[in-house]
Amino acid sequence: MRIDLAMAGAGPAELEVFGVDGRRVRTFFVSPGAAGERSVSWDGRDADGRDAPAGIYFVRLVAGGTAAMRRVVKLR
């Protein structure tokens, strides 16, 4: 699954994937770069390499002291 990001400013970011139960499934560290469009590829696995079940997940982007969250659906 590709997660597209719109970065308002330059600098590093952190992208976290949470289950509907609030449990953190995976964390990605986005390297510093220019503002603009970037993307992160999630292979559907948790931090231990196990396949996460299909369902609804929440993705939170933290960058530059602000955070944004959106819902995603993993089909398989």
CATH number assigned to the domain comprising residue 27: 2.60.40.4070
**pTM for this entry:** 0.85
Distance of CA 71 to CAs 16, 32, 55, 66, Å? 12, 24, 10, 17
Interatomic CA distance for residues 43 and 45, integer angstroms: 6
Q: Which range, 7-16, 19-28, 35-44, 62-71, is most confident?
A: 19-28
Print the domain residue range for 47.
2-74
Count of domains observed in the chain: 1
For residue 24, give both structure tokens: 């953190």
Question: What is the CA angle 34-40-21, rounded to 5?
Answer: 125
- Please check the confidence at residue 28 and state whether its pLDDT lies above 80: yes
Q: Using one digit for the tens of pLDDT, what is the confidence trace for 38-74?
A: 888 999 999 999 999 999 999 999 988 889 999 999 9
At residue 11, the pLDDT reads 77
